[in-house]
Structure 1
Amino acid sequence: MQGRASGSARVYQTGGDQYIEEHVHHYAPGSAPLFGHPWAGPAEPRGAAPDSVRIPLVGRAPGVLRDRVDVMERLRAAVAGPGGGIQVLHGLGGCGKTAVAHTLFTEAVRDHGRVGLWVNASERVSLRAGMLAVAGDRGAADGELAAAADGRRAAADLVWHHLDHSAEPWLLVLDNADDPGILEEGAWLRPSPSGTVLVTTRHATSPLWRAPGVSSYRLGVLPLEDATLVLRDLAPDAGTQESARKVARRLGCLPLALTLAGSHLAHQLLESWSMDEYDRKLSEESTALVDRGASASGGEQSRRLVGRTWQLSLDSLAEGGLPEATALLRLLSFWAADPVPLSLLMPVAQGGAGLEHLDPPLTAARVEPALRALLDHSLIDMVETDGHRCVKAHGVLLDSVAAGVPDAERDLLAEAAGRLLRAALPDGTASSRARSQARLLAPHVTGLLDRSHRHGLVTAESVRTAVRVARLVYEAGDWTAALGLASTAAKTSAEHLGDENPATIEARSGQGPILFRLGRYAEAADLLRPVHQDALRTLGPHDVRTLDAAYELQRVLHRLGDLAHARTLLEAVLDGRRHTLGEGHVATLKSRCEMLELRLARDEFDGYTTAAEELAGDCERRLGPDHLVTVWARDALARGLLRSGRGAEAEDLFRRALAGQRAGYGDGHPLVLGVLIQLSRAQYAQGKREEAAENAREVAEQRAGILGEDHPETVAARDWYAEVRAVPPADGVAVP
């Protein structure tokens, strides 16, 4: 009796009574188990079976591993030791965990005589097949493997029995173990006296990593110089060191993105972009451009694409019952890659942020679990910035996530992101700390404007939010950052809303005071003149925004020496603010302070002291003794006293004004130095040369550091310091 079988068929021949039981398991293509019955003949190739556990299963190993010095020293020490340790590398997808593992694997085999064993631990099937293959490599018999494959013997026990009794020391790499539950369910992760285990994972907080004998290391992005070298390693002829540095910075120094970018530049056929051209293209295509450097073939392709690598983690979270993590990350993608204060997300956790209509919805009760899940899977990090607890995501990740937001949800997310930013802003009477906190929000306002610009979602409200934040950053003393934000707001508003839209006029006008403080007086005047005319024509002479533009213009004209025109404008502003806002409004009182400064510049001393005393009293009564406009009024009064030869009284008042400025702005604020130099002048007028010189020196040095050597106020401070040191004044001489 003869029979033939093909494929998965089996032929059984028997004499007498036999009872035959066969279990047939059906697997998806590429996922069949490694081991069949030892009597069944040669097995056909099965996709889950690793071709070798002695060769690292990596897509593209780096020729040179850049940076990672500290972690490699610790890992080398663990491999060179007697064994028994478990080492865990965790971090964001694409940060180079597998590259570090590959380098260690190569060194362990080459330099330490270890048997290198590599298992793909990304899913249950590949982990089980790989670990059984490890057991076979370490001497397990076919019958043992068959029993483990059939479930008649505990598979993990078999594997670790043979690892523990290995005649040769080994290094076992469990790569891409992004779901630690898979390791825990089968007890696949164990220490052994015969070797060292290295796990790579995106999961940062598993209890497995806190077990005795486990050492974990967080892997982040590369330092800028090392990231630059990665690009130069791959594409040495594509551009200069500085060009490579620009691309590395734009890619956030993420190893995966750097590798793909360098590979694309090195293997172009129809195009021959330089580093500089690639940098320009990145602003248009972002992650889509980077992914062109990926290999067109090979398994685990998703892990080798910047645009897909993090989706693996989000898909896993969704399957585990946390689809809200995707919604939260999409919200974060409408801001910047800078630290996001947790306080900014608080309204979402309290409900009412309008995110319940997303798909998936982000409800108040699910914000905390979603946030924790993103942290656990290394999609965001917890950082502390200026005393504020923040979360931070990588810029390339956010670009990738933003590109995948459904069109129907962009408007909703942009609106919610803007509403949350506005809710986090301090009011007009905010403290110095609150204004400083606003500096943390500035990059996120810029990020929101950029996302809105790309998708045509710019609104007057989003522009006004940017103008308001720019003003707060300006008041906090970071004038360069404030100008960048104000300029972006003005340009974006003009493009989407038009030059004569009130929001655009506000944004253009908002650049004026910043240019003024930066000493760019002519540039400020050229900007503010047409803004004032547009405001007059479209809003009318009594509109608050028209008055604001005129106020800023007159300040610039004052510094440029056009005192007559400045006086005319300021009188109109003061009358308009009195009529529109009232006598006690802070803007009206600021206009009166400005008028006193203009009178000093025009040498109009008649009645000056009386007017200044009256203004200081009004400010204290209406705004309070500690308000910064009250402090400004005291400063104006002190200047008048100094001009009239009352140096001792002026010094006392300048000291009060200085204390008020420091309380309101902080010690390092540039405006504090303006009062300090006046204090020096009052001291000099009284013959206190050493004190005057010391304060003058401090102002000159700090202005140079904050404003730059060529700023007009730095030059004036240096001139005053030189004058103070040159010739001592005669007693009682007033100093202008």
Structure 2
Amino acid sequence: MSTTSPSNAQPSTTQPTGGDKASAKSKSDWLAPAILTARTITAAAECAPFPYIKGVSGTVVILLETVQKVKKNREDLKELCESTTEIVMILHDQILAHGNTAVKFKAMCEELESYLAAVVFAVQNLHNPSKGFRKRVKEFVGSSNITDEIAGHQKQIQGICFKLKLLAAVDTNSKVNEMHAIMTAPSFVVTPPSQSINNCPPPSRIFQGRQIILAKMHKFFTPNSGKQLIYVLHGLGGAGKTQIALKFIQESSAKFSDIFLLDASTLDTINTGLKNIAVSKCVGDSAEDTLTWLQSKHGDWLLFFDNADDPKINLNKFFPQCNHGNIIITSRNPGLRAYGTHSPVSDMEDKDAITLLLQSAAKEGSEENVQAAAVIVKVRDLRIIEQFLIIEQELFHLPLAIVQAGSFILQSEDIAGYLTLYQKNRARLLSEKAVQSHDHYAWTVYTTWQISFDRLSPLATTLLQLCSFLHYSGISEDMFSNASKYSFPVWLPAKEELQEPLQFLSSFLDPTGEWSSLRFSEVTNEIKSYSLITFDAATKMFSIHPLVHAWSRNTLVDEAASRLCISSLLGMSIAEIPDQDITLASLRLMPHLGALSPFDAGSGAGFGAAFLYIYLSVSKLQEAQDLIEQVFDKYNLIFGEQHPATLEIMQRLGHTYSCLGEYKKAKELEVTVLEKRSKLLGEDHLDTLRAREHLARTHSDLGDFENAKELQVTVLEKSIRLLGRDHPEALMSMGRLAWIHSKLGDFENAKELRVTVLEKRTALLGQDHPDTLTAMGNLARSHSELGDSEKAKELEVVVLEKRTKLLGEDHPDTLLAMGNLAITHSELGDLEKAKELEVVVLEKRIKLLGEHHPQTLMAMGNLASIHSKLGDFEKAKEFEVTVLEKRIKLLGEDHPDTLLAMGNLARTHSELGEFEKAKEVEVTVLEKRIKLLGEDHPATLLAMGNLARTHSKLRDFEKAKEVEVTVLEKRIKLLGEDHPQTLMAMRNLASTHSELGDFEKAKKLKVTGLKKWIALLGQDHPDTLIAMGDLATTHSKLGDFEKAKELEVAVLEKRTKLLGEDHPDTLLTMGNLATTHSELGDFEKAKELEVAVLEKRIKLLGEDHPQTLMAMGNLAITHSTLGDFEKAKELEVTVLEKRRQLWGDQHPDTVGAMQNLAIMHRVLDKLMEAEELEQLVKQIQMSL
């Protein structure tokens, strides 16, 4: 920040010696050049504009012209000199004491101008002055007979005028040399001042905040430290570095014996300032004299180097070489941190920024209002404060910008109007300086940066300007280094179109044509030296202050050409990103694409297809569609619809439609691509095979797995024949075929293919290759599908360990492996471990990818599922509501992932007993899926089955049966009788028959289902054991308790062996077996089993889990059967209290607990308590 200290400039002069004859001529000629100098400064201030300089120099002109024109006698001249000297001395003292914006200074100026104007008027109205009068006055002034008194006044005026001119000259760079030439001419000799002129002005009267930095400075500068203390304040121009230093000096002036302010912007100003110290302290007349004196002066002096911005100046040689004294440096160059302790000066805190804005606008003056403004940063409940907060955010907390905004608002009295004007006229408003200011800083926001910008090399200038089209943060070297590796495709963009970006990149290549990080660092370091960019060593990212970012674009001559250049550079960089890195790269690059608006620039340069991958990766689906449709139209126009380049874009458009859930539109395009490629290139061309594979994937999305399988088998066979069985594309096709087999319920074939892929990738790529680990993870899924969750866990642990070692804990692929392992722990019944892992996954994805990323939302949904299994349905609901809201915002209401989230939320509503709400949501999901996917799509049938289950919860079993019959018929038709989803539909329909009392029909379906499960998956598969347990339940309903017991014993033994004694499914079977023992009259055995179940569930799930409460209720019934009614009542009371606490009175399970306890009260002859509960149950049932 600039300063008005008189120490900032001093002409090289020779001091005159009192009555030396050689000085006689100079005494008579000093007025004319002095007036010329003042007029020059006034003109420069008018152009800049610098109102303060204009006022001072204008006053000096009047003063000197009046002295020159005086036409009276010697006594009049003496009187004039005395009066003007007195006024100017007062004026000078006020400047030094209060700063050039002090109210008293203004008053002194007005008084001086008024007085001098009166003198001028009187002189101009003298009648008929004699022709030789001026000559006589000049002779009189220059006469050697002039009295010592008048000479003394004259010297005082000369000295003060000299000081005032120095003050005025500080910020007038364009005229300083001209003034210096005039002042150092032989005819211009002045007497330098006798006192120190290196005084510091006070800080701004509206100084705000920076308490952390000030506290650090106060702690740092301790008296008698025994060493020289140096503190550096560095940061962007306009950030308030000088103001912090001045505030510290004001608060700590008592610590220092002497305080000297030096303008360190140039070598000349540093030398001049040091010379002034020597002269004022009478220790010599050179910079070296000052340094020598400071070295020998052992007091706690302070040397303040302000605006040491020039990286070419070696500031160290201006430091006194000693072990004492104190130095403060303000600079835009962060490289000066090397000199000592430092603080970066960046944007202000919210409350300080708002307070500064309020004060500079004079809108709020009281402490109460200032405090309210700080609070309202968060709550925003007052309109005027809201407007200030918006302005402050628009100005990005930069102090100088905030002060300029406040000054404008002070004049206009229109806060909202300023916002509109600022948004439309940012450059102009940030370039204009208010006439009234709170400090001596002469530059505006934009002019202070222009000074730094003008010093940059052409290459640094270009880099900064190109970056102005990117987002202002997250700029990395690899964005440019990747672009330098760009390999040109066959089609767009042609090399000729990329000459400008190629020429720019060539400046960073070494003689071998390789990227030179050293050269890039040299250029970025140059820009960093002026704080126009900053670098984060932890992230390896550059950032630009948002206002500098906007301003640097204003420096461009041809904005369109620069936009196209950086767009091309970004497209070239994206094209070179490896597939495995695209997720993280997309997150880094998406803000830059958003800032760049590639529809105007990127697609025009031929890189729209490259940008597409970024949009899809971060689920910016509408933007992706708009972009690829525009690119497709362009290619169609340039090449025609049959051209390979057009077909490639058509295929990508189809993929985009698939991502949007518009599978039918995707299929239509992909069929066209396949037909055209088959005709143009032949059936066996690789591009034809890729088109067929895309179509196979879309058939899968549409639920048409048989057609998908047929297409994928053809792709695999041709790939093996053309490329070989071990080729990466052949193995990729094999993996995709395995996935289709899995969807078809053919888990064994899926496993067989996945084993092959894993073995080949291990042999070809090694155990640690990313593709090998992907194959291992896929095989783990096959093991889970086949019921071997332990084997799946074993493989997933290996994948997680290897990815953690190779990629790090936070890589998306590592988190994917962790999420898969969490699911397997859940399948194994280890819900707490599953929750622990899923929490880590969610936290890391939020940090890495953001709250709205699809992978983050997937983790949130998975964690919600685990909370449901743990019985924490409210927490599950909270997560699921969030997932649904974010997916609606991100993907729209009709996207498949949105509907999946909606279905999950419906299930949780059901678990909470909110069956009507669940039904409402499920009806919506079903209607949308029918509309989007058709009645026969697997996802539609799943929604139909979920709705049937809710009908059952609402006791509408006939409606449930109707829906379930439809689901079963469609699944048999689409998937066959033996598909797992068909068997699940059969199981659900059997349960509904049981609810309707048709146990024989239920038994028939369950027997059929069990046989098919055994044939499909074997006797030990989890789904087979579920079917066996369901059949046992039906035998019980039919009164065949021995048969039920036999089946349940078999299920319990298998689950104990496969899953362990503590698995939830094992405990469920144990409870069912206990019930069967009760039915057989073996109540003691039932009690023994139920006690074991309750104890294990309390230990594993906690006392409040729904399954724990169910076990407690079952044990209560058994105690009642055994005649231990008090124990039964005690348990029933606990169950009711906990269910009320969990779900409230209206939940069906709570109502059931009330009914059970009412029965127990009647058994115990507590009729009043029983009737009270029965009445409450009746009221609840009526309300529902």
User: Do both share a fold (TM > 0.5)?
Assistant: yes
Identity across the alignment (%): 16
Structure 1 pair 421–361 and aligned structure 2 pair: CA distance change class (3 A): closer
Which of 825, 831, 835 is residue 680 of structure 1 equivalent to? 825
| Alpha-carbon offset, residue 30 of structure 1 | 4.2
Matched, 1:74 2:210: no
Match of 2:531 in 1: 378
Query: What runs of 5+ residues in structure 2 fail to find an aligned partner?
Result: 1-23, 35-137, 146-172, 365-372, 379-385, 487-497, 512-518, 637-645, 678-686, 846-855, 873-1021, 1023-1028, 1030-1047, 1060-1064, 1066-1184
Give, as a single letter, the amino acid of the residue that structure 2 aligns with 1:199. Answer: I
Cα distance between partner residues in 1 of 2:534 and 2:605: 33
Which of 177, 181, 192 is residue 308 of structure 2 equivalent to? 177
Match of 2:251 in 1: 107
Cα distance between partner residues in 2 of 1:731 and 1:189: 87
Match of 2:175 in 1: 29
Match of 1:120 in 2: 263
User: Whose helix fraction is larger, Structure 1's or Structure 2's?
Assistant: 2
Cα distance between partner residues in 1 of 2:311 and 2:359: 34
Is the contact between residue 696 and residue 717 of structure 1 (CA under 8 Å) also seen in structure 2? yes
1:423-438 paired onto structure 2 within 5 Å = 425-428=576-579, 435=581
SS of residue matched to 1:313: helix
Match of 1:288 in 2: 427
Structure 1 pair 634–73 and aligned structure 2 pair: CA distance change class (3 A): closer
| Alpha-carbon offset, residue 407 of structure 1 | 0.9
Matched, 1:718 2:867: yes
Which of 144, 156, 166 is residue 287 of structure 2 equivalent to? 156
Is the contact between residue 619 and residue 630 of structure 1 (CA under 8 Å) also seen in structure 2? yes
| Alpha-carbon offset, residue 288 of structure 1 | 2.0
Cα distance between partner residues in 1 of 2:671 and 2:786: 40
SS of residue matched to 2:461: helix
Matched, 1:414 2:534: no
Match of 2:1110 in 1: none
Q: Deviations over 1:316-350 (max 9, x none)?
A: 34xxxx44322332344344333444455557999
Cα distance between partner residues in 1 of 2:328 and 2:447: 25
| Alpha-carbon offset, residue 634 of structure 1 | 4.6
Match of 1:314 in 2: 453
Matched, 1:483 2:619: yes
Match of 2:465 in 1: 330
1:35-54 paired onto structure 2 within 5 Å = 53-54=198-199
- Higher mean displacement: 355-364 or 611-620: 355-364
Cα distance between partner residues in 1 of 2:859 and 2:755: 36
Is the contact between residue 200 and residue 246 of structure 2 (CA under 8 Å) also seen in structure 1? no
Give, as a single letter, the amino acid of the residue that structure 2 aligns with 1:379. Answer: L
Structure 1 pair 375–167 and aligned structure 2 pair: CA distance change class (3 A): closer
- Higher mean displacement: 492-501 or 171-180: 492-501
Give, as a single letter, the amino acid of the residue that structure 1 aligns with 2:465. Answer: R
Cα distance between partner residues in 1 of 2:324 and 2:749: 94
Cα distance between partner residues in 2 of 1:454 and 1:259: 37
| Alpha-carbon offset, residue 613 of structure 1 | 4.3
Q: Deviations over 1:400-444 (max 9, x none)?
A: 223323317516732663266247x4434x5xxxx28x7367434
Structure 1 pair 652–399 and aligned structure 2 pair: CA distance change class (3 A): same
Give, as a single letter, the amino acid of the residue that structure 2 aligns with 1:697. Answer: K
Cα distance between partner residues in 2 of 1:232 and 1:506: 57
| Alpha-carbon offset, residue 301 of structure 1 | 11
Q: Deviations over 1:74-96 (max 9, x none)?
A: 24652766896443322232332
Structure 1 pair 440–101 and aligned structure 2 pair: CA distance change class (3 A): farther
Cα distance between partner residues in 2 of 1:483 and 1:345: 25
The aligned length equals: 650
Greater length-normalized contact order (CA 8 Å, ≥ 6 residues apart):
1
Is the contact between residue 347 and residue 353 of structure 1 (CA under 8 Å) also seen in structure 2? no
Cα distance between partner residues in 2 of 1:505 and 1:135: 79
Cα distance between partner residues in 2 of 1:608 and 1:255: 64
Q: Deviations over 1:654-677 (max 9, x none)?
A: 555555665676555442145314
Structure 1 pair 199–546 and aligned structure 2 pair: CA distance change class (3 A): same
Structure 1 pair 179–531 and aligned structure 2 pair: CA distance change class (3 A): same
Match of 2:1069 in 1: none
SS of residue matched to 2:531: coil
Cα distance between partner residues in 1 of 2:182 and 2:277: 12
Cα distance between partner residues in 1 of 2:599 and 2:360: 32
Cα distance between partner residues in 2 of 1:458 and 1:300: 49
- Higher mean displacement: 298-307 or 450-459: 298-307
| Alpha-carbon offset, residue 713 of structure 1 | 2.9
| Alpha-carbon offset, residue 231 of structure 1 | 4.7
Is the contact between residue 89 and residue 217 of structure 1 (CA under 8 Å) also seen in structure 2? yes
Cα distance between partner residues in 1 of 2:200 and 2:294: 18
Give, as a single letter, the amino acid of the residue that structure 2 aligns with 1:730. Answer: L
Match of 1:198 in 2: 328
Is the contact between residue 94 and residue 256 of structure 1 (CA under 8 Å) also seen in structure 2? yes
Q: Deviations over 1:431-460 (max 9, x none)?
A: xxxx28x73674346425633649745446
Cα distance between partner residues in 2 of 1:489 and 1:396: 29
Q: Deviations over 1:372-409 (max 9, x none)?
A: 322333333343235xx454443432332233233175
Cα distance between partner residues in 1 of 2:652 and 2:779: 33
Cα distance between partner residues in 1 of 2:405 and 2:697: 47
Is the contact between residue 512 and residue 552 of structure 1 (CA under 8 Å) also seen in structure 2? no
Is the contact between residue 407 and residue 434 of structure 2 (CA under 8 Å) also seen in structure 1? no
Cα distance between partner residues in 2 of 1:312 and 1:615: 63
SS of residue matched to 2:455: helix
Matched, 1:8 2:33: yes
| Alpha-carbon offset, residue 271 of structure 1 | 6.5
Is the contact between residue 209 and residue 349 of structure 2 (CA under 8 Å) also seen in structure 1? no
SS of residue matched to 2:247: helix
Match of 1:91 in 2: 235
Structure 1 pair 490–91 and aligned structure 2 pair: CA distance change class (3 A): farther
Task: Supply the RMSD in Å over aligned alpha carbons.
Answer: 5.7
Q: What TM-score do the two structures reach when normalised by structure 1?
A: 0.68
Is the contact between residue 66 and residue 226 of structure 1 (CA under 8 Å) also seen in structure 2? yes
Cα distance between partner residues in 2 of 1:34 and 1:107: 40
Is the contact between residue 336 and residue 443 of structure 1 (CA under 8 Å) also seen in structure 2? no
Cα distance between partner residues in 1 of 2:299 and 2:799: 78
SS of residue matched to 1:406: coil
Give, as a single letter, the amino acid of the residue that structure 2 aligns with 1:403. Answer: N
Match of 2:552 in 1: 401
SS of residue matched to 2:588: helix
- Higher mean displacement: 303-312 or 617-626: 617-626
| Alpha-carbon offset, residue 7 of structure 1 | 0.5
| Alpha-carbon offset, residue 66 of structure 1 | 1.8
Cα distance between partner residues in 2 of 1:226 and 1:191: 39
Matched, 1:698 2:830: no
Larger radius of gyration between Structure 1 and Structure 2: 2
1:201-600 paired onto structure 2 within 5 Å = 201-205=331-335, 215-222=341-348, 227=353, 230-231=356-357, 234=360, 241-242=377-378, 251-264=395-408, 267-269=411-413, 272-273=416-417, 288=427, 291=430, 294-295=433-434, 304-317=443-456, 322-346=457-481, 357=503, 367=520, 369-385=522-538, 389-407=540-558, 409-410=561-562, 413-414=565-566, 417-418=569-570, 421-422=573-574, 425-428=576-579, 435=581, 439=584, 442-444=587-589, 446-447=591-592, 450-451=595-596, 453=598, 456=601, 458-459=603-604, 461-469=606-614, 482-483=618-619, 490-491=625-626, 524-526=660-662, 529-530=664-665, 533=668, 557=701, 563=703, 565=704, 568=707, 571-572=710-711, 575=714, 589-590=731-732, 592-600=734-742
Cα distance between partner residues in 1 of 2:329 and 2:549: 26
